[in-house]
């Protein structure tokens, strides 16, 4: 009986020790390296070539692309499918900036002026076609279309010759995007 009486008399101390242990356990998990309270993990979109991609910076680039599309075509509507394509495009641009372009530069590979001209106005790259196509209907915008609905290169060249400052800014950004993703046609010997 005396053992039980000793335990009963120290119950407050025992409850205090267990409570303190629980508080320490909870604080350790919150303040630890994997804790959610002070962790910056939830602000990251991902990682490319060891560089962490912050959500705010990524979101700003996505919004910038949306604004450019709306400026180039005020009638364009940005639905979920289009936004998904923009997000994927921005992610691919980041991959190209952080991985592909670095490797191209190391190898001395670039896109020539003639090849860029060809990709923009003679045999338009898919990015050019994407910008000139209504994403909902899948048809080329009326101002750039032949009667059969396909892209009219003469109308595209005429538009490029008459661009205003805003359109020129859009066109330069489109050129940059194509330069960023364009894989050289030449074969390399390593």
Q: Average of pLDDT values for 169-185?
A: 77
So what's the pLDDT on residue 38? 52
Q: By residue range, what is the domain housing residue 19? A: 2-31
User: Is there a domain that residue 81 lies in?
Assistant: yes
- Give the side-chain half-sphere CA count within 13 A for 96: 14
Residues 17 and 45 in one domain: no
Tokens of 128: 């050019």
Residues 147 and 108 in one domain: yes
Residues 138 and 82 in one domain: yes
Q: Model's pTM, two decimal places?
A: 0.50
Residues 74 and 19 in one domain: no
So what's the pLDDT on residue 188? 36
User: Is there a domain that residue 189 lies in?
Assistant: no
Residues 24 and 96 in one domain: no
So what's the pLDDT on residue 162? 92
User: Is there a domain that residue 19 lies in?
Assistant: yes
Write down how long the chain is.
190
Distance CA 133, CA 142 (A): 9
User: Is there a domain that residue 125 lies in?
Assistant: yes
Domain count, the chain: 2
Residues 85 and 7 in one domain: no
- Is the pLDDT reported for residue 180 higher than 80? no
User: Is there a domain that residue 187 lies in?
Assistant: no
- Is the pLDDT reported for residue 185 higher than 80? no
Residues 102 and 20 in one domain: no
Residues 24 and 73 in one domain: no
So what's the pLDDT on residue 42? 65
Residues 49 and 90 in one domain: yes
93-148: per-residue pLDDT in tens?
Answer: 888 888 888 888 888 888 888 999 999 999 999 888 888 888 778 888 888 989 98
User: Is there a domain that residue 112 lies in?
Assistant: yes
- Is the pLDDT reported for residue 3 higher than 90? no
Residues 25 and 101 in one domain: no
- Sign of the dihedral defined by the CA atoms of residues 76, 80, 82, 88, in that order: positive
- Is the pLDDT reported for residue 34 higher than 70? no
So what's the pLDDT on residue 158? 93
User: Is there a domain that residue 190 lies in?
Assistant: no
Residues 22 and 98 in one domain: no
- Is the pLDDT reported for residue 14 higher than 90? no
**Phi-psi region for residue 138, left (φ > 0), alpha (ψ -120 to 50) or beta?**
left
So what's the pLDDT on residue 32? 62
User: Is there a domain that residue 101 lies in?
Assistant: yes
- Is the pLDDT reported for residue 68 higher than 90? no
Task: Specify the higher pLDDT residue, 48 or 177.
Answer: 48
Residues 73 and 113 in one domain: yes
């Amino acid at each position: 009986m005396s053992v039980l009486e000793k335990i009963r008399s120290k119950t407050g101390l025992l409850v205090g020790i267990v409570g303190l242990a629980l508080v320490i356990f909870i604080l350790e998990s919150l303040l630890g390296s994997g804790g959610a309270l002070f962790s910056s993990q939830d602000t990251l979109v991902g990682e490319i070539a060891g560089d962490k991609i912050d959500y705010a910076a990524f979101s700003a680039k996505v919004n910038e692309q949306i604004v450019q599309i709306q400026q180039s075509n005020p009638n364009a509507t940005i639905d979920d499918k289009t936004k998904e394509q923009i997000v994927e495009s921005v992610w691919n641009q980041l991959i190209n900036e952080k991985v592909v372009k670095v490797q191209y530069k190391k190898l001395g590979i670039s896109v020539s002026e003639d090849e860029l001209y060809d990709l923009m106005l003679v045999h338009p790259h898919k990015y050019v076609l994407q910008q000139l196509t209504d994403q909902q209907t899948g048809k080329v915008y009326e101002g750039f279309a032949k009667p059969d609905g396909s892209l009219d290169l003469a109308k595209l060249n005429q538009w490029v010759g008459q661009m205003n400052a805003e359109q020129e800014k859009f066109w330069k950004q489109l050129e940059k995007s194509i330069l960023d993703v364009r894989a050289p046609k030449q074969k390399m010997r390593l």
